[in-house]
């Protein structure tokens, strides 16, 4: 397919690389920042455009990969007719794209993406469309990108987005807090990396609840109290430690 990408950030950068790798052609990068659009267009060997009202009409699919709050603004500026337009957000309704005589849908990459990635990771795609014909087209496109494609309407997709925040954003925040603690206490955070990797491997073949370890699941109150005392100088982390321990016990 000939792909037009609207956006120049993390998602746009990684997806552009994926599209090209899978045999599609990115024919235009559209963005508000001229330098960012030109830089991404250079890697895709295509045109850069900062005028949303003059987007090429030679695309087969138009990918809106901007921050969630900017999607509606972008849609209002588009003037293409009878073109397939999709956004890449997990938490934004498909109906934000609704225009008369239009084909639209969602192509959400269920993955954490950063433009600095040297290799594109495995990406499940969550898709939806405004009608079955458009869905069939979008499904065929998505299947060229990954073996894992799942259809989800707005209600299901926002719930998936919620769980993505829990397992990715919240987990990374815990890493950040542990890293800060290690830095302050003159410990090497990198010593924890094998533990982090092993924990991730276990849940590939087991329910997370079934492989839970640690003092909370063992009801080891002596160790729990010891840890909580150690965190007296870190009230935010102490509160979170207690909350998480209680949650593990309850589950």
Q: Are residues 18 and 59 in the same domain?
A: yes
Structural domain of residue 245, as residue ranges? 158-250
Q: Are residues 121 and 182 in the same domain?
A: no
Q: Are residues 53 and 131 in the same domain?
A: yes
User: Nearest Cα to 44, choosing from 77, 79, 7, 90?
Assistant: 7
Q: What is the mean pLDDT of the chain?
A: 96
Given phi > 0 = left and psi -120 to 50 = alpha, else beta, which region is 186? left
Q: What digits encode the pLDDT tens for the residues 122-141?
A: 999 999 999 999 999 999 99
Question: Does the pLDDT value for residue 118 go beyond 90?
Answer: no
Q: What digits encode the pLDDT tens for the residues 69-107?
A: 999 999 999 988 889 999 999 999 999 999 876 899 999
Query: DSSP class of residue 122?
Result: P
Total domains in the chain come to 2
Q: Are residues 119 and 167 in the same domain?
A: no
Q: Are residues 210 and 97 in the same domain?
A: no
Domain boundary among 152, 181, 215: 152
CATH of the domain at 43: 3.40.50.720
Q: H helices of 95-131, where?
A: none
CATH of the domain at 163: 1.10.1040.20
CA–CA separation, 36 and 16 (whole Å): 14
User: Nearest Cα to 65, choosing from 92, 43, 45, 38?
Assistant: 92
């Amino acid at each position: 397919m000939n792909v037009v990408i609207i956006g120049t950030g993390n998602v746009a950068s990684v997806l552009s690389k994926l599209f090209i790798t899978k045999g599609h052609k990115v024919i235009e990068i559209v963005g508000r920042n001229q330098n960012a659009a030109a830089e991404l267009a250079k890697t895709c060997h295509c045109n850069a455009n900062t005028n949303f009202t003059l987007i090429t009409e030679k695309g087969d699919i138009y990918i809106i990969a901007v921050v969630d709050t900017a999607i509606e603004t972008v849609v209002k500026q588009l003037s293409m007719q009878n073109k397939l337009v999709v956004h890449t957000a997990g938490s934004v309704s498909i109906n934000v794209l609704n225009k008369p005589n239009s084909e639209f849908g969602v192509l959400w990459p269920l993955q954490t993406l950063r433009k600095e990635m040297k290799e594109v990771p495995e990406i499940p795609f969550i898709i939806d469309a405004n009608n079955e014909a458009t869905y069939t087209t979008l499904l065929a496109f998505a299947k060229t990108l990954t073996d894992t494609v799942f259809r989800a309407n707005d209600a299901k997709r926002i719930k998936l987005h919620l769980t993505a925040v829990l397992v990715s954003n919240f987990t990374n925040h815990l890493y950040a807090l542990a890293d800060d603690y290690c830095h302050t206490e003159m410990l090497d955070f990198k010593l924890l990396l094998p533990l982090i990797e092993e924990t991730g491997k276990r849940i590939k073949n087991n329910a997370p609840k079934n492989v839970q370890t640690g003092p909370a699941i063992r009801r080891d109150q002596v160790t729990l109290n010891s840890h909580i005392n150690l965190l007296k100088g870190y009230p935010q982390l102490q509160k979170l430690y207690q909350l998480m321990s209680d949650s593990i016990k309850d589950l």
